[in-house]
Amino acid sequence: MKHTRPQALNPASEASPTSVQLDAISQGIGERLQTLRKLKGWSRGDLGAALGISSQQIRKYETAENKISAEKLGLCATALGVPVGSFYGEGAHASATSTTALTIAKTVDTIPDYGVKKALYELAKAINELG
């Protein structure tokens, strides 16, 4: 049986992701970063302080204005206490969970009292720990 060598990927070939696809990936990562940050009850400043970067840089990651490096994504995962795969929507029902979580986070974000927001986070955390 004759073996053939794999062809190198040509950047212009269909096998290569397009800039639109890469932008969509960055946007999804940014949205999940924002969701996970809010679910933890952290401001952009809180996450920025944990990573040693500015809150403006966190905003740029969340809005996909800047692409986040693999190293920085790993640091975000560690700071937020989640697996790196969380930013890629990995898991059995990740997209439904992400959508629900984002909706909850956006709703909670409209609550003006930080103490109430923090109490909701602690309540959700306690419910999660019950299993």
Query: What residues does each domain of the chain span?
Result: 19-130
CATH class given for the domain over 19-130: mainly alpha
The mean per-residue pLDDT over the stretch 23-45 comes to 89
Residues 90-126 have pLDDT tens digits of 543 454 466 677 778 778 888 999 899 889 888 988 9
Q: Hey, what long-range contacts does 85-93 have (CB within 8 A, 24 or more apart)?
A: 86/32, 86/36, 87/29, 87/32, 87/33, 87/36, 88/28, 88/29, 88/32, 89/28, 89/32
pLDDT reported for residue 97: 60
Residue range 52-105, pLDDT digits in tens? 999 999 999 999 999 999 999 999 999 998 888 888 865 434 544 666 777 787
